[in-house]
């Protein structure tokens, strides 16, 4: 994800979809779809872990489709 800091920030500021992690109740997955990435048209997923008084990015990766799970927010 080197060089993708701008896309990661954009995904966090303006996600198209936010889902609750199925494996960690304190984590949320922020998704935004990008065309013409270096590996084709992909969703960028940014995983954010929320703790009492703190939040941090766990990881970020490109994927073909969002993971299943409870949708917390979705753009229309």
Distance, in Å, from the CA atom of 50 to the CA atom of 9, rounded to the nearest integer, reads 17
Instruction: Kindly state whether residue 71 falls inside one of the protein's structural domains.
Output: no
Kindly provide the b/e burial profile for residues 25-59, where b requires at least 16 CB atoms within 10 angstroms of the residue's own CB.
eebbbbbbeeeeeeeeebbbbbbbeeeeeeeeeee
Instruction: Kindly state whether residue 75 falls inside one of the protein's structural domains.
Output: no
The total of structural domains in the chain comes to: 1
What does the pLDDT look like over 21-67, one tens digit per residue?
999 999 999 999 999 998 999 999 999 999 999 999 999 999 999 99
Instruction: Kindly state whether residue 74 falls inside one of the protein's structural domains.
Output: no
Say if residue 1's pLDDT is above 90: no
Domain range enclosing 29: 5-66
């Amino acid at each position: 994800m080197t060089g993708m800091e701008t896309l990661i920030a954009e995904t966090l500021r303006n996600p198209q979809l936010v889902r609750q992690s199925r494996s960690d109740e304190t984590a949320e997955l922020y998704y935004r779809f990008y065309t013409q990435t270096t590996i084709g048209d992909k969703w960028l997923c940014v995983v954010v872990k929320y703790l009492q008084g703190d939040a941090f990015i766990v990881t970020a990766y490109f994927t073909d489709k969002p993971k299943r799970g409870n949708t917390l927010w979705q753009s229309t």
